[in-house]
């Protein structure tokens, strides 16, 4: 069904005098759906559950019609522990390697363990999301530029971003797009739950910077499908996975900055703060000094962690800063 009239006709034909449980998948595909929800919301015999893949539907648009009489749950891809449970795997380096490569889309469990088949599925999912939730919804005509923009974000996962920076990059590629259009397209991609924006925070002054943010993908497998998996990107991928794990633990996440030094994540929850640095390897003194040293400059006593893919000697702590491998971090909560 595509219209609110058809939806209401279906409901009237199937409702009972008792409690009616109404489940609507991809509710944004039904034109005028909010009229039906507003009408039924006042009926005590209806318990309504809707799913959708566009942030605007469940924030501004739906809230306007239901006046806050709804509870919204953000359901993302499987976290690492859920991934292991779905695939009946132990939480070890082998399962972590699979998670890093394929991400956490639940349907993956039904596919054979074949890299070509799994990436074909991921590419199909990417195309579906792009067309249904971005191109069609926002009537985008320049789909080539949209694809190029997403590829740029995927290739620069976890890098400091500004619309001016990408505009200058595009001009070097003989592509002229203004900053306003770039910002609009990014908001559409973000609204489709495809990427997540993280703002910068001045740790000392506790103020947000107005420009310069980072973007992380909702599913690392989709990111890999866009630009391919490359071991040289492991630092970006690990940082993305750490972000997702913090988000799944209900942290409010920002990028920290203090005296010109960057802290990868400043995570806050219920008045408590955790500082986190992320590195692929801790195999030389300069890297160790940079990752641990930036955290040592923070004067408060909140927990501080360095997360790396490989183990680190000496284990557990360095000058009071906690160290965890990515496997340990994704398998636990902090």
The whole-angstrom separation of Cα 320 and Cα 314 is 12
Do 120 and 175 fall within a single domain? yes
Do 86 and 45 fall within a single domain? no
Residue 40 domain-assigned (yes or no): yes
- Residue (of 5, 2, 43) closest to 26 by Cα position: 2
Do 117 and 148 fall within a single domain? yes
Could you tell me which residues come within 8 angstroms of residue 65 by beta carbon, excluding any fewer than 6 positions away?
Answer: 34, 35, 37, 38
Do 275 and 180 fall within a single domain? no
Residue 185 domain-assigned (yes or no): yes
Do 315 and 243 fall within a single domain? yes
Residue 200 domain-assigned (yes or no): no
Residue 39 domain-assigned (yes or no): yes
- Give, for all 334 residues of the chain, the pLDDT tens digit: 789 999 999 999 999 999 999 999 888 888 888 888 888 888 889 999 988 877 666 665 666 666 666 777 888 899 999 999 999 999 999 999 999 999 999 999 999 999 999 999 999 999 998 998 899 889 999 999 999 899 999 999 998 887 777 777 777 777 778 888 888 999 999 988 999 999 988 876 666 665 678 999 999 999 999 999 999 999 999 999 999 999 999 999 999 988 888 899 999 999 999 999 999 998 888 888 888 999 999 988 899 999 999 887 766 788 889 999 999 999 988 7
Residue 329 domain-assigned (yes or no): yes
Of the three residues 66, 86, 119, the one that is the final residue of a domain is 66
Do 62 and 127 fall within a single domain? no
Phi-psi region at 200: left, alpha or beta (left = phi > 0; alpha = psi -120 to 50): beta
pTM over 0.85: yes
Do 258 and 307 fall within a single domain? yes
Domain count, the chain: 3
Residue 206 domain-assigned (yes or no): no
Do 104 and 187 fall within a single domain? yes
Report phi then psi at 60, rounded to 5: -70, -50
The whole-angstrom separation of Cα 37 and Cα 152 is 39
String of b and e for 19-46 (b: at least 16 CB within 10 Å)? eeebebeebbbbeebbbbbeebeeeeeb
Q: What separation in angstroms does the CA of 149 have from each of 167, 182, 229, 323?
A: 10, 8, 18, 35
Instruction: Kindly write down the DSSP assignment for every residue of 231-285, as one continuous string.
Output: GGGHHHHHHHHHHHHHHHTT-EEEEEEETTEEEEEEEEETTEEEEEEEES---SH
**Residue 175 DSSP SS3:** coil
Do 327 and 286 fall within a single domain? yes
Do 9 and 43 fall within a single domain? yes
Do 169 and 133 fall within a single domain? yes
Do 62 and 163 fall within a single domain? no
Residue 221 domain-assigned (yes or no): no
Residue 119 domain-assigned (yes or no): yes
Of the three residues 176, 195, 214, the one that is the final residue of a domain is 195
Domain that holds residue 38: 4-66
CATH number of the domain bearing residue 318: 3.40.1350
Of the three residues 174, 195, 216, the one that is the final residue of a domain is 195
> Given the DSSP bridges, would you call strands 304-308 and 272-279 parallel, antiparallel or unpaired?
parallel
């Amino acid at each position: 069904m595509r219209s609110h009239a058809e939806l209401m006709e279906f409901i009237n034909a199937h409702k009972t005098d008792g409690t009616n449980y109404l489940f609507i998948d991809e509710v944004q595909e039904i034109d005028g759906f909010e009229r039906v929800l507003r009408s039924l919301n006042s009926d005590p015999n209806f318990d309504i559950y809707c799913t959708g893949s566009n942030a605007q539907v469940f924030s501004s648009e739906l809230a306007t019609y239901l006046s806050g009489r709804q509870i919204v749950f953000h359901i993302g891809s499987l976290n690492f522990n859920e991934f292991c449970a779905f695939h009946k795997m132990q939480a070890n380096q082998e399962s972590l390697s699979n998670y890093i490569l394929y991400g956490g889309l639940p349907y993956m469990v039904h596919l054979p363990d074949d890299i070509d088949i799994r990436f074909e599925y991921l590419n199909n999912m990417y195309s579906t999301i792009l067309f249904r939730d971005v191109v069609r919804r926002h009537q985008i005509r320049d789909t080539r530029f949209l694809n190029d923009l997403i590829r740029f974000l995927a290739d620069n996962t976890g890098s400091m971003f500004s619309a001016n920076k990408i505009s200058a990059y595009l001009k070097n590629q003989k592509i002229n797009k203004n900053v306003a259009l770039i910002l609009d397209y990014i908001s559409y991609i973000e609204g489709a739950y495809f990427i997540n924006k993280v703002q910068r925070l001045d740790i000392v002054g506790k103020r947000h910077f107005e420009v310069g943010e980072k973007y992380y993908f909702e599913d690392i497998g989709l990111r890999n499908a866009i630009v391919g998996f490359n071991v040289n990107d492991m630092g970006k991928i690990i940082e993305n996975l750490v972000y997702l794990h913090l988000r799944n633990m209900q942290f409010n996440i920002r990028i920290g900055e203090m005296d010109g030094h960057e802290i990868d994540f400043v995570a806050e929850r219920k008045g408590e703060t955790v500082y986190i640095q992320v590195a692929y390897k801790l195999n030389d003194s300069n890297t160790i000094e940079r990752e641990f040293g930036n955290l040592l400059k923070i004067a408060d006593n909140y927990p501080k962690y360095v997360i790396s893919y490989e183990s680190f000697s000496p284990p557990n702590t360095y000058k009071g800063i906690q160290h965890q491998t990515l496997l340990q971090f994704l398998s636990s909560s902090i």
